[in-house]
Structure 1
């Protein structure tokens, strides 16, 4: 790691004079420029430009405190610091092996003109691909404990941009994305129709969640989100549909307050990523760079992995999570009477272990293994699950021994039913249980309304809870895959054992609802995945006729697109989500899932347009092999993929898994072809992709292969 401070500028300026001077202070890096100033009323405002084009104009900053003075006007500037910073660091796992962290930092020190003359700093970091900024409340005599009533951050846009958005919901991120002009944002209309989502709370008709992806009429791509969300509520954005001003909207607690803080304190970073190329948005590492380095010193136990699981069969109605039909079905001794459809039974789990071992899949997830599922859904209560008591047909010790003998790791499942209070009481006990039986990872769930009652999934209390779980898991060397949590903000840099989150509309919605539109996966990388990996659960091969009692239900992709998602939707914890028998019916296509890694040395975004198409190439960790995923929306297209990223002068074997000529996500989704070619860095692949389709490609040096072509 190398750190270079190239300049340091400190200006002690008379505050009263500077408050009257509206000339901005500036920071810039290549095409990105930031301007900050205090207006004549002492209000802090900022602007962002890209290549001379305005991105954010004259946008306000500041805070209102509960029963206290505001940091919003009548401020004076006491000091300005500017510094350049450049380093490279290596993530424990990720899309690339090395990340450059290069920015110019501008720190403005502000104080109130009136007594008690409290202090607040705003720190801006200007990167080549955008701007991050946060507020700092220094330690000071006049401010110790305080409560935030409102954050006044604005993002004033230059027009009615095309937006890719979901409603600003306090409890879920699992909506389909709407593509519209900002002036057409109506979260209530979307929420009212989203009856497949269990808990929906959208108080503001014109609020949207972050990450928010935008495209301007003059060709700028703009992404607004946050980084390093710690001890603070998630930020949503209120959209003024008339002047296109976005305002920070924080998720409140049960009393309507936003955050309870203690100086010194730093807020999360507010992030604006901007480019005139869509691919640059996906390449950005700004959010990761704004997070703190790993707090885990020994990370050797953190291992990306693929897994299968007893899960999709419950989603599609083939089996159940619960052992009995209800708590009322018990014998004279009080023992629950088996319903005969419980999926997490020893024999069935061993079948998945056998399949994983046979195909080189590292892990097996089992949901519904522990007691409590009969009392689960829709009951707003504590102590439904204890996380250590298996059902009578699940031999936890025998299964652990069987998996170990087969070289397979078991993945724990802890559904909390939204009762975070119960889970916190059991955390040490639950993780010791995992350690005892050799479970290296856990999938957590928070389906339902949150307990403590009145709190929300994305409020400050729950944000702290998710971090406590990651911290406690690290103490026990357990990796985390959190579902129904807040949107990631790059904290996997700080807690690399927090491998993935759901926090979005995953593949499961194709099982129990009418699913997601074909453009869904082309939007996710520009929105949900900007802050971190998603456990999307790709790899469904049986695309029609899989849902019990819903013969018209189908996945809105082709089979080839399901393969491509392993590359385009990044996660270090990738599930082969379908049933073993459905993979065994297409073993030639399943070969790609067997080979595709979950960890990478390099990533190239070859082409991208939000809502339309994405093509990404990734180089396997510690290998010369490359993998490519290319997907489209509801429109067929021809993907042109130059292989210029390959080493010059070398020959490669290319294997393409693509849509058949008559493939169509709606009419013929399981039709695919597999072709093999020889290629060099001068080769340009041209692949026809069907409606809702995709292509998955493996590339290996010829000198590493034997009998590749047959």
Structure 2
């Protein structure tokens, strides 16, 4: 009886769903099965099953338009269409050479019975690992220009699942993950404690971000996210802590509206992955498959890169981004008075170029090279940077020439200070400068409150802005790495020059805050990385005493785990983030960073459990060489790695970079061992991972 009462309270439509006799439509692939129907009120209802077990109980769909809340009922079905798709496609770069795209699609054409008889299609694609669905608004006389007030999508879960979550913040994804039951979600409590994040906007106490990773009491894994987010705000999820129902919560604009649309239009896909093991969640390419193919015809100029950069020394207080301490104190001739701490000076940058050239690193990123850093942060000022004017101690031409002579590419940095309007006005100018000096890639940043004022990082206006930047960059043959954007939704398939994003709590939080918990990197692949590569900036070797302003601060990993992150946290733009001198003190360990690939033919998930451990093996593109990363949380463990993915009959040499026997993230993080021995496809490795530790392995085919 209690269960029936809960059902009635949570849906207010459950009894109608069960009582009415509307026809049910189904679609399925392998263990995944979708059911769709209209209830007695003409509301669209869907449910989802895995291997006969309910994943999503009957849940309603629909839209609420501004000044019209009725676009979720009084529908009739005027047509349905089914089709099967089974194809392969090859990404420009990525974790695998070829991707299977197999699904059954059910399109339900709906028409409202009441005038003006508006039309809406619901399109469901059922894959072997999950479901994607979206709303489509055909061209029609009854609906042309319209404003979305709310999206009424529900995900009614079957219980109080274990969740890995961060608050539903409109402006940042840079929180530490909380692991709790859904009934314990309290976004305000987490927001209040997150004082290391500058801009925090969490209006809903019970909202969480997607990708949301869930685990049921009976061992099923569920992941809820979205795909192909274009011209539409990010979807967060409101958690009903009593009945475990999730409902879409769209990020609003300055007026409180969610999206301004013009039919014909389709929303992003809402995605649900389900599996009885964690590995299958990470193996899924469903989100990528739901995105459109590349709009860039000639992609020869898009090349994954490894890079170093003048960045960590600013984060740790050794140097500064700004040239002067005070923008209002000028010399007699009217110039800024240098502080002597500016990191992006010609001599220092050449030091990084020399290190990159000596060690086969593709590029060098320089932050703080351009004027404006003295008053950029926290002032909500529109015109801070012009993206072309260097500080007096940064020789743009000389550095460019020097890098070319060394065979090193320079990577541009464009921090906008949140002023997207200013950046858009100057995009062509900024990218032309990059073309002039041969910069192939740019790291953009959006630290601070957004301008246009009142807009949010994850709202429709900014979602469109990020796409415009990717489009403009493609026109100039420039690759993009975006920091502080909305979380990715697979658009790197459509825009393969959109190489990476931050959009989560990165390694820099180990510099200016209490850091990232030892389980953080074991959660990220199941959450943030579901939508695309992350510029996490791994590779810190000096793990204690690196911050001049906080001498007791430390990174919450071992050195071996920092190496393993090059495999477990995928990015085609991969940074060796520490200072050259810290690498030079441990060049035997740095060898793994030099060797590890950044583009792959194949990926194998060996062991996985969100929040606990992860082991991934990847095959370098165009070779028989493999690289493995194994990481754990605060618990030490023994990882078991069967090498049966290696080519049979081929001999390999394994080089293992592991935690020393007495290593731990807290007491002895920099202790590591390097071992080398032959292996074959019959070999099984057993590796002891320290608390907060890991192991990195290169497996090279013997000629």
Band the TM-score falls in, shorter-chain normalisation: over 0.9
Paired residue secondary structure (1:71): coil
1:514 aligns to what? 514
Paired residue secondary structure (1:695): strand
d(CA) in 1 for partners of 2:696, 2:255: 50
2:159 aligns to what? 159
Q: Does 1:392 align with 2:392?
A: yes
1:81 aligns to what? 81
Shift of 1:68: 2.8
Deviates more, 1:331-340 or 1:67-76: 67-76
2:490 aligns to what? 490
1:324 aligns to what? 324
1:142 aligns to what? 142
1:4 aligns to what? none
Shift of 1:69: 5.1
2:10 aligns to what? none
d(CA) in 2 for partners of 1:579, 1:306: 15
2:68 aligns to what? 68
1:702 aligns to what? 702
2:59 aligns to what? 59
TM-score, normalisation: structure 1: 0.96
1:231 aligns to what? 231
Matches within 5 A, 1:248-287: 248-287=248-287
Shift of 1:677: 1.2
**What does the per-residue CA deviation read over 1:552-582, in whole Å, with 9 as the maximum and x for residues that have no partner?**
1000000000000000000000000000000
1:609 aligns to what? 609
d(CA) in 2 for partners of 1:670, 1:245: 45
d(CA) in 2 for partners of 1:121, 1:381: 43
1:221 aligns to what? 221
Matches within 5 A, 1:2-401: 21-68=21-68, 70-401=70-401
d(CA) in 2 for partners of 1:172, 1:591: 35
d(CA) in 2 for partners of 1:332, 1:318: 28
d(CA) in 1 for partners of 2:163, 2:384: 41
Shift of 1:347: 0.1
Q: Does 1:651 align with 2:654?
A: no
Shift of 1:350: 0.1
Shift of 1:21: 3.5
Shift of 1:650: 1.8
d(CA) in 2 for partners of 1:408, 1:331: 36
TM-score, normalisation: structure 2: 0.97
d(CA) in 2 for partners of 1:244, 1:20: 25
**What does the per-residue CA deviation read over 1:572-624, in whole Å, with 9 as the maximum and x for residues that have no partner?**
00000000000000000000000001110000000100000000000001111
**What does the per-residue CA deviation read over 1:671-695, in whole Å, with 9 as the maximum and x for residues that have no partner?**
0000011111111100000000000
d(CA) in 2 for partners of 1:82, 1:259: 29
Q: Does 1:548 align with 2:548?
A: yes
1:3 aligns to what? none
Say whether the 8 Å CA contact 2:316–2:549 is kept in structure 1.
no
2:528 aligns to what? 528
**What does the per-residue CA deviation read over 1:335-362, in whole Å, with 9 as the maximum and x for residues that have no partner?**
0010000000000000000000000000
1:461 aligns to what? 461
d(CA) in 1 for partners of 2:277, 2:505: 26
d(CA) in 1 for partners of 2:551, 2:386: 37
Paired residue secondary structure (1:70): coil
1:626 aligns to what? 626
d(CA) in 2 for partners of 1:578, 1:450: 30
Aligned residues: 685
d(CA) in 2 for partners of 1:574, 1:334: 41
1:449 aligns to what? 449
Paired residue secondary structure (1:299): coil
d(CA) in 2 for partners of 1:701, 1:459: 48
d(CA) in 2 for partners of 1:64, 1:414: 38
Say whether the 8 Å CA contact 2:254–2:455 is kept in structure 1.
yes
d(CA) in 2 for partners of 1:279, 1:78: 40
2:430 aligns to what? 430
d(CA) in 1 for partners of 2:336, 2:191: 38
1:586 aligns to what? 586
Shift of 1:373: 0.2
2:15 aligns to what? none
Paired residue secondary structure (2:641): strand
Shift of 1:375: 1.0
Say whether the 8 Å CA contact 2:63–2:69 is kept in structure 1.
no
d(CA) in 2 for partners of 1:20, 1:665: 59
Shift of 1:20: 6.4
Say whether the 8 Å CA contact 2:315–2:508 is kept in structure 1.
yes
Unpaired runs of 5+ residues, structure 2, are 1-18
Paired residue secondary structure (1:95): coil
d(CA) in 2 for partners of 1:414, 1:98: 34
Matches within 5 A, 1:666-677: 666-677=666-677
**What does the per-residue CA deviation read over 1:526-545, in whole Å, with 9 as the maximum and x for residues that have no partner?**
00000000000000000000
d(CA) in 1 for partners of 2:264, 2:549: 57
d(CA) in 2 for partners of 1:428, 1:33: 48
Shift of 1:308: 0.1
d(CA) in 2 for partners of 1:391, 1:549: 25
d(CA) in 2 for partners of 1:21, 1:287: 34
Alpha-carbon RMSD: 0.8
d(CA) in 1 for partners of 2:101, 2:696: 31
2:3 aligns to what? none
Say whether the 8 Å CA contact 2:215–2:221 is kept in structure 1.
yes
Structure 1 ranges of 4+ moved more than 2 A:
19-23
2:11 aligns to what? none
2:402 aligns to what? 402
Paired residue secondary structure (1:529): helix
d(CA) in 2 for partners of 1:576, 1:350: 16
